Amino acid sequence: MDKELSNPNQLKLFGDNFDLLPNALIIHGEPSIEEFEEAFRRLSLIEDATAWWWGDLCNAQEHYYGYVKDFCIKYERNYNSIRQYQWVCKAYELSMRIDSLSFNHHMIAAPLDSKIEWLEQAAENKWPTKALKLAILSAGIEKPTFDGPAPLIYRQNHRTWLPSQPDCDLLLTDPPYSTDVDQPIEEFAKWLPAALSKVKPSGHAYVFIGPYPREVRAYLNLLDNQIDLTQLLVWEYKNTMGPSPAHEYKSNWQAIIYYHGPKAAPLNCDLLLEKNAVHEFSMPRGGPSHHTWEKPTELAERFIRHSTKPGDIVIDCFAGTGTTAVEAERLGRRWVAVERN
């Protein structure tokens, strides 16, 4: 590497009159208005390019080694912004990206089936992002839908809501645990067979249940003669505090019933670390904050990514704070959910 370019303190990315330092931009002499405009243009290009760089970097890192959240915390990056960059980058292969348009142009069109056509129109007509938004809105373009209700979290009882829903590619849900229901868990657990009947033969299901022996036994006994249960998975977390039981071990895990239909495709996961039956993610914000047993967004994202492809239908019978819906939407899946309260 050129010695001059190896030192970031000496970079001349904006021209000879501008020195780029890690914590400043030094201006020498009196640059012309044209030189200022050129520096502004170059900085805009760099700022726009960093969104693509962040997205591609983190998608690659995630593919080989796992999630990037720890890096975001370590280097004080906004994790939600990084995930947004990742999502846009996943929506466009390199050959689909149009150099003359900004990252924001691509983000606006990303959810649409006709995104390339809209980007080509924007490039041809030299539309700014506001003009692209207006054109899409004026055309009445909506995100893809499926036969049945539009993507929405319904406020309704899951038992009366479920029969009217379409068959799904993924059931991902987190029902109340035995400590939170006002009836024997053996009775409450009877909701599950009806929900699993909505899973396509090519589909998958992940159902969170509590780590309590009676609850695990109730669900397993219920399913014993009804489906061929694939596996029990575990969500482990180590960031919660509280009194330690005197005669028991502290339960820092929850069980996940995993099922796949007889025609299901292999899991969409090349990373061996993600294929462990134990999935370790911290409890959100050090402990439940929006819901009694709020789940990490990263865990929902992992299961959706492993078992579905863009456009597939995801159902959540106990939406809670909407974690499943948020991640399904972000990943380009079609979803519908219900929450009683």
Q: Residues 80, 83, 85, 86: what is their CA dihedral angle, to the nearest 10 degrees?
A: 180
Contacts of 308 (CB under 8 A, 6+ apart): 169, 170, 204, 268, 314, 331, 333
The Cβ of residue 198 has, within 10 Å, a number of other Cβ atoms equal to: 18
The C-alpha atoms of residue 324 and residue 320 are separated, in whole angstroms, by 9
- Rg of the Cα atoms in the chain: 25
The C-alpha atoms of residue 24 and residue 231 are separated, in whole angstroms, by 55
In the chain, what are the domain boundaries? 100-142, 153-240+250-339
Strand partners, 336: 315
Contacts of 267 (CB under 8 A, 6+ apart): 275, 306, 307
**pLDDT for the residue 325:** 92
The C-alpha atoms of residue 70 and residue 1 are separated, in whole angstroms, by 30
End-to-end CA distance of the chain: 60
Q: Residues 155, 159, 300, 186: what is their CA dihedral angle, to the nearest 10 degrees?
A: 130
> Which burial class, exposed, middle or buried, applies to 205 when counting CB atoms under 10 A from its CB (0-12, 13-18, 19+)?
buried
Q: Record the tokens describing residue 60, joined without a space.
A: 């690659």
Instruction: Scan for tokens 């006709």, then name that residue.
Output: 114
**pLDDT for the residue 284:** 76
The C-alpha atoms of residue 84 and residue 37 are separated, in whole angstroms, by 29
**pLDDT for the residue 64:** 64
Residue 72 is inside which H or E element, if any? helix 69-74
Residue 26 is inside which H or E element, if any? strand 24-27
Q: Does domain 153-240+250-339 have CATH number 3.30.750.200?
A: no
CB 28 within 8 A of CB 19: yes
For residue 18, give the amino acid letter. Answer: F
Whether pTM > 0.95 for this model: the answer is: no
CB 274 within 8 A of CB 66: yes
CB 317 within 8 A of CB 171: yes
**pLDDT for the residue 239:** 76
Alpha carbon distances (Å) from 293 to 160, 179, 243, 251, 275 = 24, 11, 18, 13, 23
- Render each residue's pLDDT in the chain as its tens digit; 341 residues: 344 444 444 467 787 888 888 888 889 889 999 999 998 988 888 989 999 999 999 888 876 666 677 788 888 888 778 888 888 998 899 999 999 999 999 999 987 888 999 999 999 999 999 999 899 888 876 544 444 445 678 888 888 999 988 899 999 999 999 989 999 999 999 999 999 999 999 999 999 999 999 999 999 999 886 778 889 999 998 877 667 788 888 889 999 999 999 999 999 887 777 889 999 988 876 444 556 678 888 899 999 999 998 889 999 999 988 999 989 988 888 899 999 87
